[in-house]
Chains A and B, each alone.
Chain A
């Protein structure tokens, strides 16, 4: 039976050792948002040996391009985007110390291997449950690449953000396990 964990960012290896693919996590603390265009820039910086706009060690990146905040709210709807598009950029960010990612949909082989090597995890948020997720976002500010609009990097403070462990540090993958369990031949 899957467990429920409450975790606070930044994530430590101790935190991650407890997590198994399929577990539910209520995540609190700071997460940084980045999707396709921001990933491209982050990886260009790393390749040139430059500093990133935030210290990535132990941090969690949330793949999201939120809707604009309506008056009186910290953020608009803010569900995850599809993660495989970030796969080409992910191993280099994991090597730089990234410990967690939040998105939706399965990851490629290289990313899964890099997660095992670097002891990092990938969480699945519920795609399309964007208003429920926005309610877990307490603060949000753009910290880099404002020109990218919805694709800018935001520093978000979240409280009890509901996610599921999709890939743990042991190489397990809920996207494979789930289908195997429920597939009817």
Chain B
């Protein structure tokens, strides 16, 4: 049994909140540069270049890439041989989010009651925490700030087995088409298929954590990802929805077994401020 003080978790969460919001991943920059060379719309080209300038300015000025510094989504891969000491693990994570969002000059975007009062909690807590128990004595912490504009364009659909892969593809492309310029294209499309109603949504969110330049280990799904990216980029939505070829930077799929009666499909859309940072204790 390995003991870890939760104060260590707090410090890491705080640091990851700030770093995820200031520094975009190289995989995102590479994808935008790739599409910038191929974009046919002059306005689209100008926007993609501005996004690259903005990533650089954010890192230099130590300011958040986007003012929507998101809800703090925290993923834990928790080794089952770890024992936490020094207080509540989830309290420590929320304390880290609070300190990170205050000290990093990040926007506080959480309201307490979701409908009636909608009063800002003032420190961006509570975080949304998902924990997976894994073998070993390590803890991997991932902070993925998620913006509201793209989250609002996401959807879960309980499809039928008879809809087949063509039905899944139509749903994904249609979801992106209906989103238009709202989710800040170029977007990243996370797709979760299988599990159950709620599990498919979590798979879609986890799909967004995959590096943009990786390839799905199962070749048949890798081909579906390639085809969906091509179809989505035929929609003409383009950077910021003003028209062009670059609507999505990547489509990433995760699947799980599911019930014989079901075929849940979730599409979680992320904007080009595609932020996540991880650290392992």
Whether the Cβ atoms of A77 and B64 lie closer than 8 Å is: yes
Nearest CB of chain A from residue B28's CB, rounded to whole Å: 11
Q: Tell me the interface secondary structure of chain B in the complex.
A: loop
Asked if B47 lies at the interface with its beta carbon under 8 angstroms from chain A, I say yes
A131: min CB distance to chain B, Å = 4
Cβ proximity bits B179-196 to A, threshold 8 Å, 1 near / 0 not: 011111000000000000
> How far is the CB of B32 from the nearest CB of chain A, in Å?
11
- Chain B residues with CB under 8 A of A179: 180, 235-238, 241, 243
Task: Indicate whether A150 reaches chain B with its CB closer than 8 angstroms.
Answer: yes
Nearest-CB distance from A165 to chain B (Å)? 10
Residue A184 contacts which of B54, B62, B236 (CB distance < 8 angstroms)?
A: B236
Per-residue contact bits, chain A 122-133, to B (CB 8 Å; 1 contact, 0 not): 001011111110
Against B, the Cβ 8 Å flags (1 = close, 0 = not) of A39-80 are 000000000000000000000000011111110010011110
A175 within 8 A of B: yes
State A66–B67 Cα separation when bound (angstroms): 5
Instruction: Answer yes or no: B81 CB below 8 A from chain A CBs.
Output: no
* Contact partners of A180 in chain B: CB under 8 A: 236, 243
Task: Point out the residues of chain A lying under 8 angstroms from B272, CB to CB.
Answer: 128
Which of B42, B51, B63, B184 has a CB less than 8 Å from the CB of A104? B184
**Cα A48 to Cα B237 with chains together (Å):** 40
A131, B183: Cα distance in complex, Å? 18
CA distance A84 to B41 in the complex (A): 24
Within 8 A of A (CB), among B51-109: 51, 53-54, 57-58, 61-69, 105-109
Contacts of B62 in A (CB 8 A): 70
Contact B61 A131 (CB under 8 A): yes
Q: Which of A78, A124, A185 contacts B67 (CB 8 A)?
A: A78
Per the bound structure, the CA–CA distance linking A78 and B54 in Å amounts to: 12
Considering the chains assembled together, what is the distance between the CA atoms of A72 and B137 in angstroms?
A: 44
Question: What's the Cα separation between A2 and B42 when bound, in Å?
Answer: 10
In contact, B109 and A150 (Cβ under 8 angstroms): yes
Interface centre among B54, B67, B236 (most CB of A within 10 A): B67
Neighbouring A residues of B243 by C-beta, 8 Å: 174, 177-182
Residues of B within 8 A of A126 (CB): 47, 50-51, 54, 240
User: Can you name the residue of chain B whose Cβ is closest to the Cβ of A181?
Assistant: B243
Contact of B66 among A77, A105, A149, A178 (CB under 8 A): A77
Known: A67-B67, A70-B105, A78-B67. A106 touches B57 (CB 8 A): no
How does the 8 Å CB contact mask read for A142-155 relative to B, with 1 for contact and 0 for none? 00000011110000
Categorize the interface residue count of chain B.
35 or more
B181 touches A70 (CB 8 A): no
Which of B43, B105, B182, B273 interacts with A128 by CB under 8 Å? Answer: B273
Contact of A64 among B51, B67, B108 (CB under 8 A): B67
Greatest chain A CB density within 10 A among B63, B183, B237, B272 is at B63
- Bound-complex Cα distance A16 to B7 (A): 57
Chain B hits for A37, CB < 8 A? 118
Measured between beta carbons, the chain A residues less than 8 angstroms from B238 are 178-179, 182
Point out the residue from A124, A128, A181 that lies within 8 Å of B54, measured CB to CB: A128
Contacts of B57 in A (CB 8 A): 131-132, 135
- Mask of B121-149 contacts with A, CB within 8 angstroms, 1/0: 01000000000000000000000000011
Do A130 and B66 contact each other (CB < 8 Å), given the known contacts A69-B105, A175-B242?
yes
Is A183 located at the chain interface by the 8 A CB criterion? yes
Expressed in whole angstroms, the minimum distance between the Cβ of A176 and any Cβ of chain B is 9
User: How far, in Å, is B50 (CB) from chain A's closest CB?
Assistant: 5
A183 contacts B65, CB within 8 Å? no
**Chain A interface (Cβ within 8 Å of chain B)?**
2, 22, 24, 37, 64-70, 73, 76-79, 81-82, 84, 104-106, 124, 126-132, 134-135, 148-151, 162, 164, 166, 174-175, 177-185
The chain B residues found within 8 Å of chain A, CB to CB, are 40-43, 47, 50-51, 53-54, 57-58, 61-69, 105-109, 118, 120, 122, 148-149, 152, 180-184, 234-238, 240-245, 271-273
Given contacts A76-B67, A104-B240, A126-B240, 11 further A-B contacts (CB under 8 A): A37-B118, A65-B67, A70-B61, A70-B63, A73-B63, A81-B68, A81-B149, A128-B273, A149-B122, A150-B107, A181-B243
